[in-house]
């Protein structure tokens, strides 16, 4: 019988949860965060399940674990834990984690206001502004993002045939814009979006097997997120999305890796310029400011380096116990 205690600091980034596990974390094997992510999934996934799923978490729960950097040049490394698994990269998770880590003194950046973070998907450069003890905003410069495929089609029971593009921004996103069979997220409830997304994601990965594999890291593969777009709530916003992840989640934030993928898609189609602000609204209307920092290539193909700026707020300290004695020690899903 064993009982494990995890000290967590809970926050939200523009509405989406970030549970930073600051105590009780396991040592991981591997030379970099991509290898350590695989080690965690093999040996310690029960921690993710116990802390993310009900009864200790919920459908949208998402979090992170901080580790020392593998390269001493960097400030720290990060493992993302979610109901959906361990994401290679998470934008809202990064903004929340940096806000918590700075405000709570968990890290001491080599250069105040600047951080170099090792994520499983690559090195992320971060800037943040702090006023007294509070972090006002965090801006992350994300991994190379690119349009992976366009004008694919999939059949969705009630809606009919849908056309979509796939773009990478740290995870692979199927992006569904308004079209004949889909008028936009403004006309759909969150539960309908979740219902359709589950069907579509399974079908996409079956219909297009092995099409979406990161050229530099084959552990990053397949469409994991579905982004539905639609009319923004605010006239000043550039766009609005509902991003589906896990089995039942709609991101409450505008989704950092999703916004990166969206900007890569728009850039490739000549609809967004380098340096132009892309004000992205979430399903609940919260905002990230995205920007294409520069053009680059990945495996000889067009890509961008995007940045995302947003804010997070800490709302609690949470000492959570996972006791083998509890039939729901490792959580459950309904």
Question: Which residues are annotated as catalytic?
Answer: 90, 255
Q: Hey, what's the torsion of the CAs at 248, 251, 256, 258, to 10 degrees? A: 60
Contacts 24+ apart (CB under 8 A), 155-160: 155/203, 156/181, 156/196, 156/199, 156/200, 156/203, 157/196, 157/199, 158/196, 159/196
x-marked contacts with ligand PYC along 61-100 as a string, rule CB under 6 A: -x------------------------x--xxx--------
Nearer to ligand PYC, 159 or 251 (CB): 251
What is the nearest approach in angstroms of ligand PYC to the Cβ of residue 93? 6
> Nearer to ligand PYC by C-beta: 124 or 255?
255
How far apart, in whole angstroms, are the C-alpha atoms of residue 164 and residue 141?
A: 26
Rounded to an integer, what distance in angstroms lies between the CA atom of residue 172 and that of residue 147? 10
Nearer Cβ to ligand PYC (87/143): 87
- By the rule CB under 6 A, 245 interacts with ligand PYC: yes
Does 120 engage in binding with ligand PYC (CB under 6 A)?
Answer: no
Please report how close the Cβ of residue 221 comes to ligand PYC at its closest, in angstroms: 16
> CB of 143 within 8 A of CB of 124?
yes
Q: What's 125's DSSP letter? A: E
Query: Min. distance of Cβ 172 from ligand PYC in angstroms?
Result: 11
Q: Which residues contact 232 (CB under 8 A, 6 or more apart)?
A: 238, 239, 240, 281
Draw the binding track, 160-199, toward ligand PYC (x: CB under 6 A; -: no contact): ----------------------------------------
**Which residues are near ligand PYC by CB under 6 A?**
62, 87, 90-92, 245, 251, 253, 255-258
């Amino acid at each position: 019988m064993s009982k494990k205690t995890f000290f967590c600091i809970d926050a939200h980034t523009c509405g989406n949860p970030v549970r930073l596990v600051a105590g009780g974390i396991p040592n991981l094997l591997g030379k970099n965060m991509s290898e350590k992510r695989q080690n965690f999934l093999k040996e310690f996934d029960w921690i993710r399940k116990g802390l993310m799923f009900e009864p200790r978490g919920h459908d949208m729960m998402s979090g992170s674990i901080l580790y020392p950097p593998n390269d001493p040049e960097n400030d720290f490394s990060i493992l993302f834990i979610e109901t959906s698994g361990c994401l290679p990269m998470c934008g809202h998770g990064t903004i929340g984690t940096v806000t918590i880590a700075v405000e709570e003194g968990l890290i001491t950046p080599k250069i105040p206001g600047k951080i170099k973070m090792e994520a499983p998907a690559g090195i992320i450069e971060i800037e943040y502004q702090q006023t007294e003890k509070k972090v006002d905003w965090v801006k992350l410069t994300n991994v190379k993002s690119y349009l992976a495929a366009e004008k694919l089609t999939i059949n969705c029971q009630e809606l009919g045939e849908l056309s979509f593009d796939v773009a990478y921004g740290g995870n692979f996103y199927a992006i569904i814009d308004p079209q004949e069979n889909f008028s936009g997220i403004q006309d759909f409830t969150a539960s309908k979006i979740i219902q359709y997304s589950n069907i579509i994601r399974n079908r996409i990965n079956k219909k297009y097997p092995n099409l979406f594999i990161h050229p530099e890291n084959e552990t990053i593969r397949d469409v994991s997120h579905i982004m539905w777009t639609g009319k923004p709530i605010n006239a000043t916003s550039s766009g609005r999305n509902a991003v589906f992840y896990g089995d039942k989640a709609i991101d409450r934030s505008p989704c950092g890796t999703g916004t990166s993928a969206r900007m890569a898609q728009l850039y490739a189609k000549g609809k967004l310029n380098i340096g132009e602000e892309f004000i992205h609204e979430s399903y609940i209307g919260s905002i990230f400011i995205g920007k294409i920092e520069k053009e680059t290539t990945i495996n000889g193909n067009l890509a961008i380096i995007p940045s995302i700026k947003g804010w997070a707020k800490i709302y609690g300290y949470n000492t959570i116990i996972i006791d083998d004695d509890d039939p729901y020690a490792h959580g459950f899903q309904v």
